Amino acid sequence: MFQEPVLPVHTVPAFTDNYIWLIESAQCRQALIVDPGEAEPVLTALQDAQLTPNAILITHHHADHTGGIEALNHHYDIPVYGPHSEQIKGVTHPIFAGCLIQRDGFPPIYVLDTGGHTPGHISYLIDQKLFCGDTLFAGGCGRLLGGTAPQLFASLMALKSLPDSTRVYCAHEYTEANLAFAQTVEPENTALQQRLIYTRRQRAAGQPTVPSSLAEEKATNPFLRCDEPAVMAAVSEKTGAQLTSPEAVFTALRQWKDNFRSS
């Protein structure tokens, strides 16, 4: 059976812990740029890989995801897609959740509503690869910076419904700290214990821990496990209230993480 070629994805580190993603076409020497917080590392990566940019995809308005748009537009005349409900300088194609982006040389790009970190946050799904900005992290999720807990919970549940094989390309290297918190919540989770050990080895070797798989997140990320008895019990004990709703568990869990300091 014929299979579509896999799209290579290039990791472009930026600032201290950001990741910018270059999605390379399987058909031509072009790339989609996801969340360019700064331009210089993108320009260098494009030159090193001998790629020409095709378009820019923005998940939300924060500067560490948008700061490179203007400089990149000085070099390349390409469209910039971003959420219609957020004010982002340089966006030429405001888009809605449910939109389908078609770019020559690339599979269809599905736009998902993943508000909560910011109210208008969107994510992009292409070739079973999820580019989710600051909504879902490896081992965690984004803070509430303008959005609401019910909104973010709904977004995470929608992402959880994607196939287990989905690759998760988040925008920050927060995995080790996220898993340290997760282990506080679920100390008996053996999959989590093993993932934390492996993650610490990766970081000690200077390797990125992203992307992860959605199956891995479902097994170890407490924010996708708010219906699990162990998570519900831990959060109920922390709050001193018997929480039975996964959304209520999520809300309290996010507050717990906001104040968490690892030892």
Residue 240 placed within a domain:
yes
pLDDT at 5: 61
The residue-averaged pLDDT of 93-112 equals: 97
Same domain, 210 and 127: no
The residue-averaged pLDDT of 167-181 equals: 98
Answer yes or no: is 172 a known binding residue: yes
How many domains does the chain fold into?
Answer: 2
Answer yes or no: is 134 a known binding residue: yes
Enclosing domain of residue 66 = 9-170
Answer yes or no: is 113 a known binding residue: no
Same domain, 90 and 126: yes
| DSSP 8-state secondary structure symbol assigned to residue 172 | B
Same domain, 130 and 181: no
Concerning whether 62 is annotated as a catalytic residue, the answer is yes
The residue assigned the tokens 């508000």 is 115
pLDDT of residue 6 exceeding 90: no
Give the active site residue among 64, 113, 121, 258.
64
The residue-averaged pLDDT of 137-165 equals: 98
pLDDT bracket for residue 117 (50, 70, 90): very high
Tell which phi-psi region holds residue 84, choosing left (phi > 0), alpha (psi between -120 and 50) or beta.
alpha
Q: What is the pLDDT of residues 222-249, one digit of tens each?
A: 999 999 999 999 999 999 999 999 999 9
The residue-averaged pLDDT of 88-104 equals: 97
The residue-averaged pLDDT of 197-220 equals: 98
Answer yes or no: is 75 a known binding residue: no
pLDDT of residue 4 exceeding 60: no
Query: Measured between alpha carbons, how far is 173 from 50 in angstroms, rounded to an integer?
Result: 26
SS (H, E, C) 41-96: HHHHHHHHHCCEEEEEECCCCCHHHHCCHHHHHHHCCCCEEEECCCCCCCCCEEEC
The structure tokens listed for 169 are 């390309």
Task: Return the CATH number at 76.
Answer: 3.60.15.10
Concerning whether 75 is annotated as a catalytic residue, the answer is no
The structure tokens listed for 226 are 């708010």
Which residues of the chain form beta strands (DSSP E)?
A: 9-14, 18-24, 30-34, 52-57, 80-83, 93-95, 100-101, 109-113, 122-126, 129-133, 136-137, 140-141, 167-170, 212-213
Average pLDDT, the chain: 96
Tell me the whole-structure pTM to 2 decimals: 0.97
Concerning whether 74 is annotated as a catalytic residue, the answer is no
Residue 263 placed within a domain:
no
Answer yes or no: is 61 a known binding residue: no
Q: What is the pLDDT of residues 33-54, one digit of tens each?
A: 999 999 999 999 999 999 999 9
pLDDT at 2: 37
pLDDT at 26: 92
Answer yes or no: is 117 a known binding residue: yes
Answer yes or no: is 65 a known binding residue: yes
Of 136, 152, 170, which residue sits at a domain end?
170
Give the active site residue among 61, 62, 113, 121.
62
Concerning whether 227 is annotated as a catalytic residue, the answer is no
Same domain, 208 and 190: yes
Give the active site residue among 35, 61, 65, 113.
65
Same domain, 155 and 186: no
Share of the chain above pLDDT 90, in %: 97
Same domain, 246 and 133: no
pLDDT at 114: 98
Query: Measured between alpha carbons, how far is 132 from 137 in angstroms, rounded to an integer?
Result: 8
